Amino acid sequence: MALVELKAVRKSYALGETMIDAVRGVDLEINTHEFVAVWGPSGSGKSTLCHLMGIIDRPTSGSVSFHGQDVAGLSDDRQSELRNHSIGFIFQSFNLVPVLTALENVMLPLQVRGEPRELAREKAMARLREANIDSHAHHRPKKLSGGQQQRVAIARALVTDPLLVIADEPTANLDSVTAHRILDLMREVNHTRGTAFVFSTHDQRLLDRVTRQIQLSDGLITEDKIVSA
């Protein structure tokens, strides 16, 4: 059974009186343990497709299933619960809460689902150590570099032990050394825990490291191939 399955998925947006088809009838399966890049030019539908897979957005038509369960049949609360327990997100802009420390940012998803504060703190510190950013646990985002903020964002995405991580341009605007270190960390998690990763990207450094490349153009999959990484 696929971890995520999209069937004839279409997503349209209204732009004034014009309807824009961001994703146009896509069929796609993502399995556990996969390390996948969704790539293509700006406007090809990469981010929209990832948001649909991550249950951030709803399709205009077609179906999205997670672990065999049709997401459309779930209430908003159940969808939020599914995201919080099973899906981690790494955003290009990091989306860290500026008034919270790195540690508090990573604790946040655990506290949202009601875990005791001390247990949440313990788990968050463990993920910060894995991301090699625990020495900055008590720094707020404005005191961190872009690469350091990205590591905190990765720790936050992984703290719930998700089945799937959706990452939007995770290496954008990072220098090569930092980008490779971040990719090493995510690949290690993929190998050791079986966490599936789906990246929206146009970064060749990332494309060289994945095991599957899905190319989009004008909202359609034009190529889907397994590669050696």
pLDDT digit string (tens) for 37-92? 999 998 999 999 999 999 999 999 999 999 999 999 899 999 999 999 999 999 88
Residue identified by tokens 């625990």 is 134
CB 189 within 8 A of CB 158: yes
Position 223 confidence tier, pLDDT thresholds 50, 70, 90: very high
Question: How far is it, in rounded angstroms, from Cα 200 to Cα 89?
Answer: 11
Q: Does domain 4-226 have CATH number 1.10.10.1100?
A: no
**Span of 2-11, 143-152, 168-177 with lowest mean pLDDT:** 168-177
Domain ranges of the chain: 4-226
Mean pLDDT, to the nearest integer, of 104-126? 96
Any alpha helices (H) in the chain, and if so which ranges?
A: 46-53, 76-86, 102-112, 117-130, 146-158, 176-193, 204-207
By three-state DSSP, how is residue 214 classified? strand
CB 37 within 8 A of CB 44: no
| Percent of the chain clearing pLDDT 90 (strictly above) | 82
Q: Please give the model's pTM, rounded to 2 decimal places.
A: 0.93
Q: What angle do CA 226, 55, 166 make, to 5 degrees?
A: 45
Quick one: DSSP state of residue 116? -
Position 93 confidence tier, pLDDT thresholds 50, 70, 90: confident
pLDDT at residue 96, as a whole number: 97
pLDDT at residue 229, as a whole number: 58
Position 208 confidence tier, pLDDT thresholds 50, 70, 90: very high
Contacts of 162 (CB under 8 A, 6+ apart): 85, 86, 87, 88, 195
Position 175 confidence tier, pLDDT thresholds 50, 70, 90: confident
